[in-house]
A and B are shown apart, each in its own frame.
Chain A
Amino acid sequence: MIVAEAKPISEILTMVKGLKKVLVLGCKGCVTVCNVGGAKEAGILASSIRIAGRKEGSIVEVGEHTLERQCDPEYIDEVKDLVPLYDAVVSIACGVGPQFLSERYPESRIFPGVNTKFMGGAVAHGIWSERCAGCGSCVIHYFGGLCPIARCSKSLMNGPCGGSSHGKCEISKDVDCIWDMIVRKAMDQGRMQDLLEFRPPKSWTTARDGGPRRMIREELVK
């Protein structure tokens, strides 16, 4: 899933400063699962803005609503009568949500309420970790099903750098050295020879380096 974290409330209050009517818009997708942008969080953020607004005497009304998903025009359409009633919308979906809203409602002001972090999952309650860099051409089968592009700090493809220590990355003791995991798994499986092969430079044309991406599946295009 896409993992996000709440923006500091002060940052959101700066965005909505001086506005009279604000809508907080949640999403039932990934951000609900990672406890940052669902109906519950929309309610909490709306209350916080309300309280701050009351203190300042500016904001008179903060609405809240949560969509099935904000990455789908069909659901974005659902709020077509609601959005124009507000001076601004704070979307607490991932970065996709506020952009779909901005494109669908060009007259409205749309603000991001979260920082979108990465594609990953929860490794323990309250702890999320990155797994995929979305490079557009998956190669993890060469590395025991583990991704050095996303999970090695240097995206090394031919083995661990000299900074790997006690299974941790040189940048932080909180970051696992993925190459340590790749090598140990290969040794355990008796497949070390897989790692001895030279991996040539990757083509980044399918990654963000190739420009903003778009995918078309002809059979689904109406």
Chain B
Amino acid sequence: MSDYKAGSNLEKVLKAGQFAFTGECGPPQGANIVKLKEKASHLKGCVDAVNITDNQTAVVRMSSWAASLLVQQEGIEANFQMVCRDRNRLAVQSDVLGVYSHGIRNMLCLSGDHQKFGNHPEAKNVFDIDSIQLINVVKTMRDDGKFMNGQEIDVPPKLFIGAASNPFAEPYEFRVFRLAKKIAAGADFIQTQCIYNMVLFRDFMKRVVDMGLHEKCYILAGVTPMKSVGMAQYMAKQVPGMDVPDSLIKRLKGAPKGKVGEEGIKIAVEQIMEFKEMQGVAGVHLMAIEWEHRVPEIAKLAGMLPRPTF
């Protein structure tokens, strides 16, 4: 019997005390398996696990569990994302059993963007349970071998449980407590929202460390390289809960023509280097949105290669 909760590669990396590095890959808006595999292939060997998003921004895509399986078939470990927006507790639990049965070992529990943002704003939402309750459901299934109704599970699913944290959303004072609630509910690891405001994040991590939360859970800092000034401005203004300082936009604007992307990558690498040294940070979650092919380069520049193997 191993000491692992789920035995995923990501869990092994973190438990071994290695600085973890996870990536992200959004499923296609269609059944384009070739495209999905092509995107994921860039991440192979560069990261410890790849988050497979679940109808992110409430836009219909190939289901996250199906895309997770396809990615795993390519020899890349998936971090299966699940949002509460689209599933009631029956669907939640049956999908957990389903993904585990097919070899998925990591799962990220999220509330989900409101459908208003997506391409089916007329949809009825579910939100039968919230993200913290979802964490607890998956933990109860794993550790107690029980469904939400208390019924015994015939072969419980063993998943390494992740959750998200947004240190920059308001009310700011509550964010560290919400993180604590997620950990108490059963989160094994946390992936944060994309960090741009390093001043605020350092303060957040100080509070995390003061509360000893980093000893109860692995915290992965979220990084998304800016591809352009337009992207930075869009994220600053349009994306809820995103904190993009003016100084960062200024720095991108100051980059030579045609070199803004390079500057974005440089900033991301600098961030990763700092996170490696930051107390309480156990790894980095790199969300290179539609920029998967740049991940190997970022991983190399940030000294994240080679990735540990077990």
Q: Hey, which bits of chain A sit against chain B, CB under 8 A?
A: 153-167, 170-172, 177, 179-180, 183-184, 187, 192, 195-196, 198-201, 204
In the bound complex, CA of A154 to CA of B181 (Å): 18
Cross-interface CB contact of B171 among A160, A170, A171, A196, cutoff 8 Å: A160
**Contact flag A162-B164 (CB < 8 Å), given A195-B177, A200-B133:** yes
Q: Chain B 163-185, CB within 8 Å of chain A: the 1/0 string?
A: 01110011101100110110011
Taking a contact as CB atoms under 8 Å apart, the answer to whether B136 and A156 are in contact is no
In the bound complex, CA of A182 to CA of B128 (Å): 21
Q: What 16 additional pairs, Cβ within 8 angstroms, besides A154-B114, A196-B181, A204-B128?
A: A155-B130, A156-B130, A157-B133, A158-B132, A158-B178, A159-B132, A161-B111, A162-B169, A162-B241, A163-B240, A171-B116, A171-B117, A179-B171, A198-B184, A200-B133, A201-B133
Distance between A100 CB and nearest chain B CB, rounded to angstroms: 27
Taking a contact as CB atoms under 8 Å apart, the answer to whether A159 and B181 are in contact is yes
In the bound complex, CA of A198 to CA of B184 (Å): 8
> B179's closest neighbor in chain A, by CB?
A159
Q: Which residues of A contact B170 (CB under 8 A)?
A: 160, 164-167, 177, 180
Q: Hey, which bits of chain B sit against chain A, CB under 8 A?
A: 84-85, 89, 111-114, 116-117, 125, 127-133, 136-137, 148, 164-166, 169-171, 173-174, 177-178, 180-181, 184-185, 193, 240-241
Distance between B51 CB and nearest chain A CB, rounded to angstroms: 15
Taking a contact as CB atoms under 8 Å apart, the answer to whether B181 and A158 are in contact is yes
Q: Which residues of A contact B240 (CB under 8 A)?
A: 162-165, 170
Taking a contact as CB atoms under 8 Å apart, the answer to whether A170 and B114 are in contact is yes
In the bound complex, CA of A74 to CA of B111 (Å): 47
Taking a contact as CB atoms under 8 Å apart, the answer to whether A154 and B174 are in contact is no
Taking a contact as CB atoms under 8 Å apart, the answer to whether B174 and A183 are in contact is yes
> Chain A interface mostly helix, strand, loop or mixed?
loop
Distance between B87 CB and nearest chain A CB, rounded to angstroms: 13
Q: Which residues of B contact A198 (CB under 8 A)?
A: 132, 136, 181, 184-185
Distance between A190 CB and nearest chain B CB, rounded to angstroms: 13
Cross-interface CB contact of A153 among B114, B137, B148, B166, cutoff 8 Å: B114
Taking a contact as CB atoms under 8 Å apart, the answer to whether B180 and A196 are in contact is yes
In the bound complex, CA of A167 to CA of B241 (Å): 11
9 contacts between A and B (CB under 8 A): A156-B130, A158-B132, A158-B178, A160-B171, A162-B166, A164-B170, A164-B171, A165-B241, A170-B240
Minimum-distance CB pairs A-B, first 5? A162-B166, A170-B240, A163-B240, A158-B132, A162-B241
**Contact flag A180-B130 (CB < 8 Å), given A198-B181, A201-B89:** no
Taking a contact as CB atoms under 8 Å apart, the answer to whether B181 and A156 are in contact is no
Taking a contact as CB atoms under 8 Å apart, the answer to whether B125 and A154 are in contact is yes
Q: Which residues of A contact B136 (CB under 8 A)?
A: 198, 200
Q: Which residues of B contact A192 (CB under 8 A)?
A: 174, 177
> A148's closest neighbor in chain B, by CB?
B130
Q: Which residues of B contact A204 (CB under 8 A)?
A: 128
Q: Which residues of A contact B129 (CB under 8 A)?
A: 201
**Contact flag A165-B132 (CB < 8 Å), given A156-B111, A196-B181, A201-B148:** no
Taking a contact as CB atoms under 8 Å apart, the answer to whether A154 and B116 are in contact is no
Taking a contact as CB atoms under 8 Å apart, the answer to whether A184 and B171 are in contact is yes
Distance between B109 CB and nearest chain A CB, rounded to angstroms: 12
Taking a contact as CB atoms under 8 Å apart, the answer to whether A154 and B132 are in contact is no
Taking a contact as CB atoms under 8 Å apart, the answer to whether A183 and B173 are in contact is yes
Distance between A181 CB and nearest chain B CB, rounded to angstroms: 9
Distance between A166 CB and nearest chain B CB, rounded to angstroms: 7
Q: Which residues of B contact A179 (CB under 8 A)?
A: 171
Taking a contact as CB atoms under 8 Å apart, the answer to whether A154 and B148 are in contact is no
In the bound complex, CA of A80 to CA of B231 (Å): 65
> B186's closest neighbor in chain A, by CB?
A198
Taking a contact as CB atoms under 8 Å apart, the answer to whether B133 and A154 are in contact is no
In the bound complex, CA of A166 to CA of B172 (Å): 10
Cross-interface CB contact of B173 among A157, A158, A187, cutoff 8 Å: A187
In the bound complex, CA of A175 to CA of B171 (Å): 15
Taking a contact as CB atoms under 8 Å apart, the answer to whether A154 and B130 are in contact is yes
Distance between B217 CB and nearest chain A CB, rounded to angstroms: 15
Distance between A150 CB and nearest chain B CB, rounded to angstroms: 12
Q: Which residues of A contact B148 (CB under 8 A)?
A: 201
Q: Which residues of A contact B112 (CB under 8 A)?
A: 154
**Contact flag A158-B133 (CB < 8 Å), given A170-B240, A198-B184, A198-B185:** yes
In the bound complex, CA of A161 to CA of B125 (Å): 16
Taking a contact as CB atoms under 8 Å apart, the answer to whether A165 and B169 are in contact is yes
Q: Which residues of B contact A160 (CB under 8 A)?
A: 169-171, 174, 178
